Chain A
């Protein structure tokens, strides 16, 4: 089989991710943590409006959105350097804003001019001010890359060195990218719930279920790191392996539904050395609850068989695409006809991603395409050999869905026709919400 070439255009329309400084939202995602944007006017606002507002209308949280302090770099800072202005801003921020941790995220200007952010932040660190910095200039990559920078910065500059004992059963979870993934709040809550269900103590690190910086301080004590993503977080886990001597387990498939979640919990349980009886007991309880709903749902499913889509396309980041494809194929029996990966994953992870999609189920193999440009994606869907009846995509894909008469479920940034609070699409409970959404879209097509 020939390899699908990766389609990368020179310019991108209908963008599906933020730039590296968008990872200021990884700081926002940690309770009582405030980012300080070291960038020009507009950068921070653009990232907020895109990744947070027009993406499920998630809300700016404790220290994001309009309350986020920014250097607002002018020509003066470009020519003469922005160190003084940054120093002044950090000083002012710690005076008027209450936070457990400040994270300075640099933008293109500061990174190109070569401002010595390390030494400015270093001055405050010496005074025991909880502040770190991450170099997140947009030319370094997108918000996925920025996220890993932010995480490593917090680990290196705030959490620091540790050579004490490890706590058996404590796990650090590195999974979906906060805010970029429209459903990350609900998903992380569900992931934490199911891992705790089998007896683990979970550092979920981001979102409402996180214990904030106190939780982050226990990162070095964890028995192991769990990377629950196709690739994001792997470099963090590698870093922690060297820094704290922690092993890590990489599970590329975020589980959706009983089949995947049971498999996931057994794999993690075995790796962590958790009592298998406890794992099985939890799975049994969860499946009992899960299948009660499925049983009731089956009446609808059998009655409306003529309206149920059989072919689907996925247009999202590699981790959610893989999770959704596995669920749609293995739990719903749908046929994948087009899978487009949109987050521009680093080249070194692409073969592994391709391989994952070639093993969806027995006899089901998918060749993914890596495309970032909205127009190219639209063309690809429009000219697909087999037309999908349902698209798992973004608001950008609504036009082409309408054109080919397919239903659309917005699962990814930007999701501007979805209001999302605690909804999750993963695990046991998330899978039920996902089913509700998929078949609400399907049945309402004839409304």
Chain B
């Protein structure tokens, strides 16, 4: 049915005053990127936006918690079976009418997952699906190590406008974010997406916050939200749900709502100034020493109490 509708071009839509907000969320694997994205998507949907979550990870589990913990057939699974795919066939509705898509990818260790992401994203772009579905916001949930050009597709010209990275205070997570900043920085010269900021995840210790704050200051960006580690998230995910769906009254749900509000209102992104690898190492080394001293002080305090 949707295919038969007359679809205004992107430019017309701009003139009509509606431009789809396309956001890419990156982050190191296992850092809570899909959890954050799904909760963000759920909160945006709850706030009345028409949202799509586009999982760009060969694991294809980005949208699980929006669909009761179930997997959906991926774009590439379908493309494997036939040469031409109607994109509507791979759009599934999830919690609160959220459109869910998984790019999918080859089996681990074979083929080219990066090219798979390119193929899947291009398929949607070519078929004008986003316009047909009259979306307000699209969130791409992307494997964040940006290991090759394929995973950088959402930040290239003409896809996402804003990039947010999910990072903890863990050095490898910061390292992945810094790499992403390098990608954004180079694509920015050819009209690629710019950086909206960092979503600081698993922030429970005071020093975690300080580390992320220091990193964003040095790289000319900002923290959009501090998301604490919470057992509510784990409980919700075990039910195959987002916190917004499973525990809407919880404090954690409010954190995601606050994040959603900020992202919906976000308009100006910037070019970050990534650190050189050597600078990053020195920086991490200084924090390492600092944390060691903190631990010693804490240890001494504990010892004295025991005594």
Contacts and interface: CB of A to CB of B under 8 A. Distances in A.
B79 A112 contact: no
B111 interface: yes
B119 A113 contact: no
B110 A76 contact: no
Contacts of A116: 110
Interface string B72-92: 000010011001000000000
A383 B144 CA distance: 54
Contacts of A76: 79-80, 83
B69 interface: no
A79 interface: yes
Nearest to A84: B110
A400 interface: no
Contacts of B55: none
Contacts of A115: 110
B105 interface: yes
A113 B80 contact: no
Contacts of A114: 110, 112
B106 interface: yes
B114 to A, nearest CB: 9
A75 B119 contact: yes
B182 interface: no
A75 B115 contact: yes
Contact of A113 (B76, B79, B107, B111): B111
Contacts of B111: 77-82, 113
B116 interface: yes
Interface residues of A, number: 14
A83 interface: yes
A82 to B, nearest CB: 8
Nearest to B80: A80
Contacts of B79: 76, 79
A38 to B, nearest CB: 14
Given A83-B110, A116-B110, A78 B115 contact: yes
Contact of B110 (A75, A80, A112): A80
Nearest to A83: B110
B115 A81 contact: no
A308 B159 CA distance: 67
A78 B110 contact: no
Given A75-B119, A79-B119, A81-B106, A112 B112 contact: yes
What's the interface size class on B, roughly? 10 to 19
Interface string A67-97: 0000000011111111100000000000000
B117 to A, nearest CB: 9
Contacts of B106: 79-81
A116 B111 CA distance: 10
A113 B115 CA distance: 9
Contacts of B112: 78-79, 81, 112-114
A298 to B, nearest CB: 65
B77 to A, nearest CB: 10
A363 B51 CA distance: 81
A113 to B, nearest CB: 5
Interface in B98-128: 105-107, 110-113, 115-116, 119
B222 to A, nearest CB: 37
A152 B94 CA distance: 56
Nearest to B120: A79
A80 B76 CA distance: 9
Contacts of B83: 76
A77 B113 CA distance: 11
Contacts of A78: 111-112, 115
B225 to A, nearest CB: 35
Output the residue of A77, A78, A82 with the most chain B CB within 10 A. Answer: A78
Nearest to A74: B83
A106 to B, nearest CB: 15
Interface in A49-81: 75-81
Contacts of A79: 76, 79-80, 105-106, 111-113, 115-116, 119
Contacts of B76: 79-80
Interface string A105-126: 0000000111110000000000
A80 B116 CA distance: 8
A437 B116 CA distance: 56
A121 to B, nearest CB: 16
Nearest to A77: B111
Contacts of B107: 80-81
- Of A75, A77, A80, A81, most B-chain CB atoms within 10 Å: A80
A198 B246 CA distance: 91
A82 B111 CA distance: 7
Nearest to B83: A76
A115 to B, nearest CB: 8
Nearest to A113: B112
A79 B112 CA distance: 5
Contacts of B105: 79
Interface string B51-81: 0000000000000000000000000100110
Nearest to A116: B110
Contacts of B116: 79
Contacts of B110: 80-81, 83, 114-116
Contacts of A83: 110
A112 B150 CA distance: 13
A82 B105 CA distance: 14
A81 B115 CA distance: 11
Interface in B108-166: 110-113, 115-116, 119
A112 B105 CA distance: 16
A203 to B, nearest CB: 39
A45 B305 CA distance: 81
Contacts of A80: 76, 80, 106-107, 110-111
Contacts of B115: 75, 78-79, 113
A109 to B, nearest CB: 9
A82 B106 CA distance: 11
B69 to A, nearest CB: 26
Given A79-B113, A81-B111, 20 more contacts: A78-B111, A78-B112, A78-B115, A79-B76, A79-B79, A79-B105, A79-B111, A79-B112, A79-B115, A80-B80, A80-B106, A80-B107, A81-B107, A81-B110, A82-B111, A112-B112, A113-B115, A114-B110, A115-B110, A116-B110
25 contacts: A75-B115, A75-B119, A76-B83, A77-B111, A79-B79, A79-B80, A79-B105, A79-B106, A79-B111, A79-B115, A80-B76, A80-B110, A81-B107, A81-B110, A81-B111, A82-B111, A83-B110, A112-B112, A113-B111, A113-B112, A113-B115, A114-B110, A114-B112, A115-B110, A116-B110
Q: Which 3 A-B pairs have the closest CB atoms?
A: A81-B110, A81-B111, A79-B116
